[in-house]
A and B are shown apart, each in its own frame.
Chain A
Amino acid sequence: MRRLKESDSNKPADKCPQGQVGHSRKHESAEQHVTGEAHYTDDRVISTNLLFAAVGQSPVAHAKIKSIDLSAVRQAAGVKAVITVDDVPGDIDIGPVFPGDLVLAKDNLEYVGQPIFAVAATSQELAKKATRLVVIEYQELPPVLSITDALEQQSFVRPSYVMQRGDSQQGLEQAKNKLKGQIKIGGQEHFYLEGQVAIAEPLENDEFLIYSSTQHPSEVQKLVAEVLHVSLNKVTVETRRMGGAFWW
């Protein structure tokens, strides 16, 4: 076994490139961060033949889709392609750990903002503007928005499970002092500052190079390959850095 060495805090920091306990090391990208030289996905200079994508999103929390009319979207200025879930050649489920997360909505809308279709256009503005021309007919369904409602309706995302140690029931019954009450706290999206962004560059031989702001490049590789119904080696994903990441 290698012996632990005493940290020599008198030794100048630049003599220990890996850093040492007791030495203050600057962030490896600190100078790029403070000068604006650090490149994030959207900062890449892209080739002029790339199109810009935007997704049309659900305006409602819960509904059954009756019809989608995309004709005005297809005819909008700058639009080169419009796709729905029916155009996906491979898997439509991109749930990373458990299934249940569709790449584009199929028959039902399950949350506000759910992607329904995607547009590729000659500029980001034109792509975004085109998405707003869709006409969707849907039948609204009551959404389940609180834990109380979900329990009442037995509406669970995943099967229930119990984490338990000892007998809490008995413990409470025998407790000398008891406090009872309720607390409600609102949910909070962590709001990483960088927008959700990716660049997909078609290469030779039907391969794709994807620059993505993701914490999990190999997961992106797998999911993209599955959605496109190609083998994993056709998809390369590169992540330089992310503008915010708070574990999972």
Chain B
Amino acid sequence: MTDTIQFLLNDQLISLTQVNPNLTLLKYLREQQLKSGTKEGCASGDCGACTVVSVEIDAKKSDRLVYKSVNACISLIGQMHGKQVITVEHLKQGDRLHPVQQQMVDHHASQCGFCTPGFVMSSYALHQNNPQPNREEVVQALAGNLCRCTGYRSIIDAAMQPCEEIAGSSEREQSVIQQLAAIAQQSSLDFQSQQRRFFSPKTTDELADYLVENPQAKLVAGGTDLVLEVTQNLVEFEQLVYLGQLEALTTIYENDQQIVIGAAASYCDFEPLLKKHYPELGAMISRIGATQVRNTGTLGGNIANASPIGDMPPALIALGARVKLQQGDKIREIALQDYFIDYKKTQLKTAEFILSIQINKLKSNQRLKVYKLSKRFDDDISAVLAACFIELEDQTISKIRIAFGGMAAIPKRASHCEKFLLGKSLSQNNIDQAKRALAKDFSPMSDVRASADYRMLAAQNILQRFYLEILSVDQTEEDSCHLIRVSENA
């Protein structure tokens, strides 16, 4: 057990003891290190002005580093243990600007300049991983950074420019790898200050035992939602348990039938695999938060949080996903749809935690479509999220799961609607009746994101769109024709 947080701040090894676990990385940088280049904009992970780069050893290739843009405002200091944190102050070498900085200058990509360090860091992370990004990749990398003087065109142009290799950078990377590998050798991290404790276990046994002894401890995975309690509601958590160092919880694997994702795996790590198997879900994931949020946010967090507007649960419920839970030495498995009981109430018992999520792969006669409605394309919370899973045999619906977010106090299946469609053919008449059945399934609420009427009408129209898309895919896309062919031959 170590009681010292260790991380690299730029080139400097930092060792901290006796620090309040509720301290955010941004506050530490600005107030204790007086590195004020990293700005505080919204203090809730939306604007990206506080973007720094978190560097880790690549899990798949131990001689390589992975660069992740993260929001310092909602990162806790303990989460940085074993990582390198690069801030905007580190990029310039002597009098020479880093290429991503020089391109921003040359493309007139700053006006008031307040968002600029955040954009620079997002662009830097992108170029470190991918020196010649295309426009799509640039737009994705910058989606979590807001500029209010309206300079996106010039910022995107700047970030599109390829970066030449900086002399000496691979030697510096090797040194970073060595230092991070040394910290990784250490045992679990456990520090406290002012009666506030932070525990970061390395094995599930340690985690399970700790939770049995300290059932009131709060679990923190990515912290992209939890830390808002600290910055917005001024909450000080007494006990925090960080899940990011648990290998068993961050592993992702697949077999012929299933994909299994560790509860503390972050979006950026499982997104490529889900995108490959469920392209429509992949497209939706690229609209969850933005790059900074997906670089830290986790699948288990999105489920455990039990928000009625979490985007992953409806999609996973539609896919029939199951969750594996552990409490002490007891492990159980339940269907994700049964996990949610009522608003923010779940099946999770005291001292129990989510281990992993199992998702079935699609068979050739099965389809999944996911629809996210929100006011902004990126970085926004859904008004309505719909996920429709369908299996067709002989032109007849042999399996159906339609799940919605934003329509009830929990992510929920449209049971009347499903019941009506099951065993029937896909026709406009049946869809019309299914739309009416949907009104029996939900009585959504009105809030800042949408009115109840809008939500219901939009949900019904999504069914229409689903029908038309399935129909047009069958008629136009050759690679999807198997859907109809399978059903003809069945």
Query: Which residues does A use to contact B, with CB under 8 Å?
Result: 24, 26-27, 29-40, 42-43, 45, 125, 128-129, 132, 190-195, 241-246
| Cβ–Cβ contact A30 & B110, under 8 A | yes
**A243→B104 CA distance, assembly (Å):** 17
Docked complex: B432-482 residues within 8 A CB-CB of A: none
* Contact of B331 with A by CB under 8 A: no
| Cβ–Cβ contact A42 & B88, under 8 A | no
| Residue in B36, B102, B113, B146 whose beta carbon sits within 8 Å of that of A33 in the complex | B113
| Residue in A33, A38, A128, A195 whose beta carbon sits within 8 Å of that of B40 in the complex | A195
Beta-carbon nearest neighbor of B117 in chain A: A36
**A14→B102 CA distance, assembly (Å):** 17
A interface secondary structure, majority? loop
| Residue in A34, A38, A125, A195 whose beta carbon sits within 8 Å of that of B97 in the complex | A34
Q: Which residues of A contact B110 (CB under 8 A)?
A: 27, 29-30, 33-34
| Cβ–Cβ contact B38 & A244, under 8 A | no
Docked complex: B229-259 residues within 8 A CB-CB of A: 234
| Cβ–Cβ contact B40 & A42, under 8 A | yes
> Interface 1/0s, chain B 95-117, versus A by CB < 8 A?
00100011011101011111111
| Residue in A26, A34, A43, A242 whose beta carbon sits within 8 Å of that of B112 in the complex | A242
| Cβ–Cβ contact A193 & B92, under 8 A | no
Q: Which residues of A contact B35 (CB under 8 A)?
A: 36
CB A37 to nearest CB in B, in angstroms, measures 7
Provide 8 A-B residue pairs closer than 8 Å at the C-beta atoms, listed in order of the A residue: A33-B116, A35-B88, A36-B117, A192-B114, A194-B41, A243-B39, A244-B149, A246-B149
Given contacts A36-B88, A43-B36, 5 further A-B contacts (CB under 8 A): A30-B108, A37-B37, A190-B148, A243-B115, A246-B148
| Cβ–Cβ contact A39 & B39, under 8 A | no
Docked complex: B22-37 residues within 8 A CB-CB of A: 30, 34-37
A241-B36 CB under 8 A given contacts A34-B104, A35-B89, A35-B101: no
Q: Which residues of A contact B146 (CB under 8 A)?
A: 191, 193
Q: Which residues of B contact A245 (CB under 8 A)?
A: 112
| Cβ–Cβ contact B39 & A40, under 8 A | yes
Beta-carbon nearest neighbor of B88 in chain A: A36
**A25→B34 CA distance, assembly (Å):** 31
Beta-carbon nearest neighbor of B120 in chain A: A34
B interface secondary structure, majority? loop
A35-B37 CB under 8 A given contacts A128-B234, A193-B148: yes
Beta-carbon nearest neighbor of B89 in chain A: A36
**A26→B106 CA distance, assembly (Å):** 7
| Residue in A42, A128, A132, A193 whose beta carbon sits within 8 Å of that of B47 in the complex | A193
| Residue in A26, A128, A246 whose beta carbon sits within 8 Å of that of B105 in the complex | A26
Q: Which residues of B contact A31 (CB under 8 A)?
A: 97, 101, 105
| Cβ–Cβ contact B113 & A38, under 8 A | yes
Q: Which residues of B contact A193 (CB under 8 A)?
A: 39, 41-42, 47, 49, 112, 114-115, 146, 148
Beta-carbon nearest neighbor of A245 in chain B: B112
**A242→B111 CA distance, assembly (Å):** 10
* Contact of B87 with A by CB under 8 A: yes
| Cβ–Cβ contact A34 & B116, under 8 A | yes
Beta-carbon nearest neighbor of A243 in chain B: B114
Beta-carbon nearest neighbor of A45 in chain B: B34
Beta-carbon nearest neighbor of A191 in chain B: B148
A27-B108 CB under 8 A given contacts A129-B234, A192-B148, A194-B114: yes
**A39→B114 CA distance, assembly (Å):** 9
A241-B40 CB under 8 A given contacts A34-B117, A190-B148: no
Docked complex: B74-98 residues within 8 A CB-CB of A: 87-89, 91-92, 97
CB B22 to nearest CB in A, in angstroms, measures 10
Beta-carbon nearest neighbor of A44 in chain B: B36
| Cβ–Cβ contact A35 & B111, under 8 A | no
**A125→B372 CA distance, assembly (Å):** 37
| Cβ–Cβ contact A36 & B47, under 8 A | no
Q: Which residues of B contact A242 (CB under 8 A)?
A: 112, 114
**A37→B115 CA distance, assembly (Å):** 13
Beta-carbon nearest neighbor of A186 in chain B: B375
**A172→B461 CA distance, assembly (Å):** 39
**A188→B432 CA distance, assembly (Å):** 37
Q: Which residues of A contact B40 (CB under 8 A)?
A: 42, 195
CB A102 to nearest CB in B, in angstroms, measures 26
Q: Which residues of A contact B148 (CB under 8 A)?
A: 190-193, 244, 246
Q: Which residues of B contact A27 (CB under 8 A)?
A: 105, 108, 110-111, 113
Q: Which residues of B contact A36 (CB under 8 A)?
A: 35-38, 87-89, 117, 120
CB A23 to nearest CB in B, in angstroms, measures 13
**A184→B131 CA distance, assembly (Å):** 45
**A235→B252 CA distance, assembly (Å):** 62
Q: Which residues of A contact B92 (CB under 8 A)?
A: 35
Q: Which residues of B contact A37 (CB under 8 A)?
A: 37
From A31, A35, A36, residue with most partner B Cβ within 10 Å: A36
**A190→B112 CA distance, assembly (Å):** 14
